[in-house]
Amino acid sequence: MSIEIENESGVDVQLEEILNLADFALAKMHIDPAADVEILLVDENVMESYHLDWMQESGPTDVLSQPIDGLRPGKPNALTPAGHMGLIVLCPQVASKQSVTAGHSELQEVLTLVAHSILHLLGYDHAEQEDEKVMFSLQQEIVREYLTHKGASN
């Protein structure tokens, strides 16, 4: 997978963990290894600008996803064709605040948001209650399996 990441947030973030989780999630969703995704970490002011431009909502948010090629999850025997999945814009400062409320580490919050965004790039949504259950369950599964896999390989 080609995963480009750029940290313009001014916050020290564990970029390798984000890249590893993204790679793990894309493999789990059976995405062709030639597919690519961009991840941009920004501060609250920049995130507020993206939030206004993309969602017409004020204030910074935790994460936004901008799909490009409309890729969908593949299957074990039929990978999703290669393409440009899109752009993930994440605000570590908002994620940090949310981690306190959620009662877990900042890293786990960031990883959850990256998994969440990858699912959005693949067409998942949470506007309806049933869709929310599916999406949130899958994002939790991705993070849990990644952390378990990471722990087993250390």
DSSP 100-119: HHHTS-HHHHHHHHHHHHHH
Would you state the pLDDT for residue 67?
A: 95
The domains of the chain, with CATH numbers, are 2-153 (3.40.390.30)
Instruction: Give the model confidence (pLDDT) of 32-54 as tens digits.
Output: 999 999 999 999 999 999 999 99
Would you state the pLDDT for residue 151?
A: 73
Tokens found for residue 13: 């973030």
Longest pairwise C-alpha distance within the chain: 43
Question: Which 3-state string (H, E, C) describes 25-56?
Answer: HHHHCCECCCCEEEEEECCHHHHHHHHHHHHC
Contact 142, 115 (CB under 8 A): yes
- Torsion sign, CA atoms 20, 138, 2, 127: negative
Instruction: Give the β-pairing of 84-90 and 36-41.
Output: parallel
Nearest CA to 85 among 5, 31, 27?
A: 31
Once rounded to an integer, what is the mean pLDDT over residues 86-106? 95
Cα gap 47→61, rounded to integer Å = 7
Instruction: Give the model confidence (pLDDT) of 109-143 as tens digits.
Output: 999 999 999 999 999 999 999 999 999 999 999 99
What's the mean pLDDT when you consider all of the chain? 94
Would you state the pLDDT for residue 81?
A: 87
Would you state the pLDDT for residue 154?
A: 52
